[in-house]
Structures are given as C-alpha cells and as structure tokens.
Amino acid sequence: MVKILFFLNEYAVLIFIVLIIPFIIAFRKFRKSIHQKNEALFGLEKEISHRNRTAAISILWLIGLLALGELIVVLFVIPSYPDLNLFSNPTQDIVSLPASTIPPEILTTLLARTPDQTPTSTSSSCIPGLIMITTPKAGDQIRGKISLIGTANIPNFGFYKYEFTNSGTEDWVTIQAGREIVIDDLLGDWDTSEITPGDYLLRLVVLDNQGQVYPACEIQVRIVQP
C-alpha cells in the first residue's frame, strides 16, 4: 500500500497528463455522437449514436473518478503521512553503513572531531551544525510530552525522522518525520506518557534527496513517571 501511495505521489503530474489524453478523445467521441444523433434518419443510426454516446460518457466518468482519486491522494492522503517517502523502502541500518557510503564532507567532519566531541555511551555520531539533538540532552530525565530541539541541515537535504528504542535493542520505533530543514529549532514533539519508564535511546536520522542515509545522532535518555 505504501509503495502504491509513493508511486501516485511521485508521478502525480505524469498521471494527470496521461489521463488528459483519453479524456480529450472520449470528449470528442461524445460530441460526435450527439452530432450523429441529430443528423440520424434511421433507427439503426440513432441506436449506434446512442451506444457511442453511452460509451463516451462511461469513459469520461471513469477518467474523472481516477483524476479525483489521484487529487485526493496528493492533497489529503500524502500530507497525513509526512514520513511516507521514508517507508517506501526498507529502513537501512544507520550504524552499519560503511565509511565509503558516507559523503566526504561528513566523513571529514567526523574524523576532525576534537576529543571532547568523541561519542560516549550516551551519545554518538552527532555532527554539530548538521545533525544534532540539543534538547533533551544525553542522560536527561524526561516525562510527559516534550519538544525535541535540534538540527537537520545536511547538503542536498531530503527529510529526517526521529526514533526511540529500549536500551540494548535495535527495535526502533519512529516517532515523527519532517521534510523541512531545521537549524537549532523544533524537530517535533514526543509524547512519552504511554511509555514504560526506563532507559531509552533516542536518535535523529537524516537522509539526502537521493536517499543517502547519514550517521544518526543518538542519545540516551531516561523516561520517568509524570
């Protein structure tokens, strides 16, 4: 289902263009059938023109319904799934990406880190100015609904998502996604009120417009009772 929606969104303009062609043909056929009916002298001619008109009307209705369905998908369905593009393909394992797949400018930034920027057990791969979670901070205790502040600003930006998982597992759960560049501002909200208190990992994943996955910014937080 997700792949179908992705296709309809990605090729919306082409789909509308393709629908226009049979619509024009059917409309001309409809007008021609009306003209034939007005000039028909015999019953058989009138019957043929009637069949042609009925067929043309059926095609026009079908094309109209297809166009309306595509319009609904583009205007209403797609906006309700901001992370649709992300899930059209299987989620990639960010941590296991080889260095050769990391763009040179990001690899240089990672290698140039000063000692105090080295990832610890509570945070990893956060790149200042590019991929950062600034609030909450690693080791923070959080409760209820919180706002995530950070940066998602890579070259050729595509979109981002943030996820959480229990410490020690790799079963990441997507919280929310966004399509706009964010620079030290609101990434989105996270309602932790229904999550069992304990230690969790929170990460920010950013992809460029070619689907290239950058190293995730990952921090450890503790959810406590409201």
Summarised one tens digit per residue, pLDDT across range 104-139 is 544 444 444 433 333 333 456 788 999 999 999 999
The confidence score (pLDDT) of residue 93 equals: 42
pLDDT digits (tens, 9 = 90+) for 23-73: 999 899 888 888 877 776 677 777 887 888 899 899 999 999 998 988 888
Whole-model pTM: value is 0.49
Does the residue 217 lie in any domain? Answer: yes
Domain end point (choices 14, 45, 80): 80
Tell me the CATH number at 97: 2.60.40.10
- Based on the fold, state whether residues 181 and 105 are members of the same structural domain: yes
Residue 202: give the domain boundaries.
93-223
> Phi then psi for 119, rounded to 5 degrees?
-60, 145
Share of the chain above pLDDT 70, in %: 77
Q: In what order do the strands lie in the sheet with 131-135?
A: 131-135, 145-152, 182-191
Is residue 161 classed exposed, middle or buried when 0-12, 13-18 and 19+ CB atoms within 10 A define those classes?
buried
> How many CB atoms sit inside 10 A of residue 71's CB?
12
C-alpha to C-alpha distance for 105 and 5, rounded to whole angstroms: 34
Does the residue 210 lie in any domain? Answer: yes
Contact 25, 60 (CB under 8 A): no
- Based on the fold, state whether residues 71 and 145 are members of the same structural domain: no
Is residue 210 classed exposed, middle or buried when 0-12, 13-18 and 19+ CB atoms within 10 A define those classes?
exposed
Assign 40 to helix, strand or coil: coil
Domain end point (choices 31, 56, 80): 80
Contact 43, 31 (CB under 8 A): no
- Based on the fold, state whether residues 57 and 111 are members of the same structural domain: no
C-alpha to C-alpha distance for 71 and 82, rounded to whole angstroms: 17
C-alpha to C-alpha distance for 139 and 199, rounded to whole angstroms: 9
